[in-house]
Chains A and B, each alone.
Chain A
Amino acid sequence: MSQYSGYEAIKQAFGLARGEGRAALIPFFTAGYPTLSVLADLIRAAEEAGADLVEIGIPFSDPLADGPVLQRAAGEALAAGVTIDQIFSALSRLPVGAPRIFLTYVNPVLRRGYAGFAHQAADVGMAGAVVPDLPWVESGALSREFDKRQLALVPLVAPTSTSQHLRNISTSKGFIYGVSVTGVTGSRSGIDVGVTNMVQRIKAMTDLPVAIGFGISTPEHARAIGEIADGVIVGSALTEALMAEQGNLAKTAYEFLRPMRKALDHV
């Protein structure tokens, strides 16, 4: 889809969506849930449904930023024995498609070594990573390794973030991951009113695209976020849909994401 790699591919993907007058759709899948072999089909289905970027979770035993659904998905993936080598191997066999970003925690990355992780991620065509327990103050060493490979270390902004934090991350690469609520991942019934203000505060500091995640569950939420941000990240609700489905998971993913994309098209 894109001849670009790393953060350039992310920039292109957001640019393409912006060119069409809509926010980018960014689904999340836990690698290895329910099996690793289904990951390729899920990613293809997401791309067919109109995903602009795809987030891929490397499961971690102690996911302290995640709510019950993604905890369960990671727990089941690990219980089934998925390893990071297997995940890299599966990703290396995927065709080029929408830019892919890891979501994982710092310990698995540290254990592999920051340089080694960046090298492998670039090798399998990843565009970057989100590491929710690696705040900006601790991110320097990994950020340097990512820069060497043109990978984006996507920073997070929370409703509690200070202006100083917004200044710190304004020169980051890729995009800004805005957390819609003070809380953990998981479906919610509504969108926090503070999101608009947060997006405006970020936009005042940087030209990077802003994608919003945590709690976006329905096409209506996606449309509402699409009106104020450059991207919509959907993880827990999509994973819940997969958990409820015994049969064709790719079809389930497509049918979940297609209306979200349509909602973004009609903002």
Chain B
Amino acid sequence: MPTMKRVPDASGRFGPFGGRYVPETLIPALDELESAYRRWRMDPEFKAELQEYLRNYVGRPTPLRRADRMSEALGFEVYLKREDLNHTGAHKINNTIGQTLLARRMHKNRIIAETGAGQHGVATATAASLFGLEAEIFMGEEDVRRQALNVYRMKVLGAKVTPVHSGTKTLKDATNEAIRDWVTHVRTTFYVIGSVVGPHPYPMMVRDFQAVIGKEARRQMTSVGGGLPTHVVACIGGGSNGMGIFYPFRNDPVKLVGVEAAGEGIASGRHAASISVGETGVLHGAMSYLLQNEDGQIHPAHSISAGLDYPGVGPEHAYLHHSGRAQYFSVTDSEALDAFHQFAQWEGIIPALESAHAVAWVLRERHDLRKAGARVLINISGRGDKDVDAIFALEQGGSSH
């Protein structure tokens, strides 16, 4: 198969997607960030320091193992990449450690971040605490209410959590507010974006920091899995765990499958499947696919999984879709819930609701995958401890979402 073109290009484009759609005030800061990143990512000391933290603080490499009972039940091989075993419970910390190390090299003493469910906020607060930096986390008022425990975790870690009252009071508004803060304090502040979204160089930089997932997984599949998988499956909100595991497989004869949140169903309009709907637009600094109305107003997303509840998607995913290199599908809230339970009972792993979306796609496609003799690698991007309260409440007949 042909080798993928190197993206992004010098202007931060992934084909027609990406770029830098931010106020002029931030352009010099993005230039500064890009040149610092390009310098330090090649630096042996920086690389060694990042390696050391990933190994001895985050707990990498994370295991990759065959899902034995699931494989027996489905009739084809399933392997799991265990990002749920990272410190703080998800893949997010791979990126926050990397960006925070960069912030220190750039002599920025204050870091800010947006968070939806709170996972990226916790991972950022953790990195800030580790390095003794001041951290402020922007979080929609609605999410502050829904994710009270994560708010408390961030506070325990010493971060300031600022509720955002504008717009839909969720992740997209928290991101707007983080960008506004960055515009205002650009000279002293480093903005730690949590996914492969935002203006160039963020989608590239976050991808590179998360690519450790795919690099390890590719090596582990060759050793413990007896060769490359036929499919790599990941859930997609902004898309950082997906890009992280896809990227090192991009030139292999492996199908890359991204699973978006269909919420209550695409037809209901209450979903987060921006690639499946496929309308191009600009949000939070990049051109990609968005949920929007005919006037270009951003449409609120919906998913039972707060981490997928975002109306856009990273520009490189838009490019992988556009070029046909990856395929994107969507699964509903109820399919994800069923997968959450089934997977926990098969494997003794309670997955994050986000990751349950990836599992749900495999369950739905089981017949075709079995016929094709598939060897499927699923990225278990996070653990479900954070979700059990909400699911418990939902199943008791209440609603916490």
Which A residues are within 8 Å of any B CB, using their own CB? 60-65, 67-68, 71-72, 75, 78, 83-84, 105-112, 132-138, 155-162, 165, 179, 181-184
Asked if A64 and B297 sit within 8 Å, CB to CB, the answer is no
Assuming the contacts A64-B180, A133-B22, A183-B184, asked whether A110 and B27 have C-beta atoms less than 8 A apart, the reply is no
The smallest C-beta distance from A218 to any residue of chain B, in angstroms, reads: 21
Which B residues are within 8 Å of any A CB, using their own CB? 11, 19-29, 166-167, 172-173, 176, 179-180, 183-187, 280-285, 290, 292, 294-298
Asked if B28 and A138 sit within 8 Å, CB to CB, the answer is no
Asked if A158 and B292 sit within 8 Å, CB to CB, the answer is no
Asked if A133 and B25 sit within 8 Å, CB to CB, the answer is no
Asked if B166 and A107 sit within 8 Å, CB to CB, the answer is no
Asked if B166 and A158 sit within 8 Å, CB to CB, the answer is no
| Residue contacts A-B, CB under 8 angstroms, 28 given | A61-B297, A62-B173, A62-B298, A63-B176, A64-B179, A65-B23, A71-B166, A72-B166, A83-B295, A106-B282, A107-B290, A108-B295, A110-B281, A110-B296, A111-B294, A111-B296, A133-B282, A136-B27, A137-B27, A156-B24, A160-B28, A161-B27, A179-B23, A181-B184, A182-B186, A182-B187, A183-B180, A183-B184
Asked if A107 and B282 sit within 8 Å, CB to CB, the answer is yes
Asked if A137 and B296 sit within 8 Å, CB to CB, the answer is no
Q: Which residues of A contact B294 (CB under 8 A)?
A: 111
Smallest CB gap from A184: residue in B: B180
Q: Contacts A64-B176, A111-B292 given; 6 further ones with Cβ under 8 A?
A: A71-B167, A111-B294, A134-B21, A135-B27, A138-B20, A157-B24
Assuming the contacts A62-B283, A157-B24, asked whether A138 and B295 have C-beta atoms less than 8 A apart, the reply is no
The smallest C-beta distance from B315 to any residue of chain A, in angstroms, reads: 13
Smallest CB gap from B27: residue in A: A135
Q: Which residues of B contact A179 (CB under 8 A)?
A: 23-25
The CA-CA distance from A105 to B290 in the complex, in Å, is: 15
Q: Which residues of A contact B180 (CB under 8 A)?
A: 64-65, 67, 183-184
Q: Lowest 7 CB-CB distances: which A-B pairs, in order?
A: A111-B296, A158-B25, A108-B296, A183-B184, A61-B297, A107-B296, A156-B24
Q: Which residues of A contact B166 (CB under 8 A)?
A: 68, 71-72, 75
In the complex, number of A-B residue pairs with CB atoms less than 8 Å apart = 122
Q: Which residues of B contact A68 (CB under 8 A)?
A: 166
Q: Which residues of B contact A161 (CB under 8 A)?
A: 24-25, 27-28
The CA-CA distance from A134 to B290 in the complex, in Å, is: 17
Q: Which residues of A contact B19 (CB under 8 A)?
A: 137-138
Q: Which residues of B contact A160 (CB under 8 A)?
A: 25-29, 186-187
Assuming the contacts A62-B167, A65-B183, A84-B295, asked whether A158 and B172 have C-beta atoms less than 8 A apart, the reply is no
Asked if A182 and B298 sit within 8 Å, CB to CB, the answer is no
* Residue among B24, B28, B179, B280 with the highest chain A CB neighbour number at 10 A: B24
Asked if B295 and A184 sit within 8 Å, CB to CB, the answer is no
Assuming the contacts A71-B166, A135-B20, A179-B24, asked whether A62 and B176 have C-beta atoms less than 8 A apart, the reply is yes
The smallest C-beta distance from B170 to any residue of chain A, in angstroms, reads: 12
The CA-CA distance from A64 to B174 in the complex, in Å, is: 10
Q: Which residues of A contact B176 (CB under 8 A)?
A: 62-64
* Residue among B20, B27, B298 with the highest chain A CB neighbour number at 10 A: B27
Asked if A135 and B22 sit within 8 Å, CB to CB, the answer is yes
Smallest CB gap from A111: residue in B: B296
The CA-CA distance from A55 to B363 in the complex, in Å, is: 55
Q: Which residues of B contact A159 (CB under 8 A)?
A: 25
Asked if B297 and A133 sit within 8 Å, CB to CB, the answer is no
The CA-CA distance from A110 to B26 in the complex, in Å, is: 21
Smallest CB gap from A169: residue in B: B24
The smallest C-beta distance from B238 to any residue of chain A, in angstroms, reads: 15
The smallest C-beta distance from B198 to any residue of chain A, in angstroms, reads: 11
The smallest C-beta distance from A21 to any residue of chain B, in angstroms, reads: 30
Smallest CB gap from B29: residue in A: A160
Asked if B282 and A158 sit within 8 Å, CB to CB, the answer is no
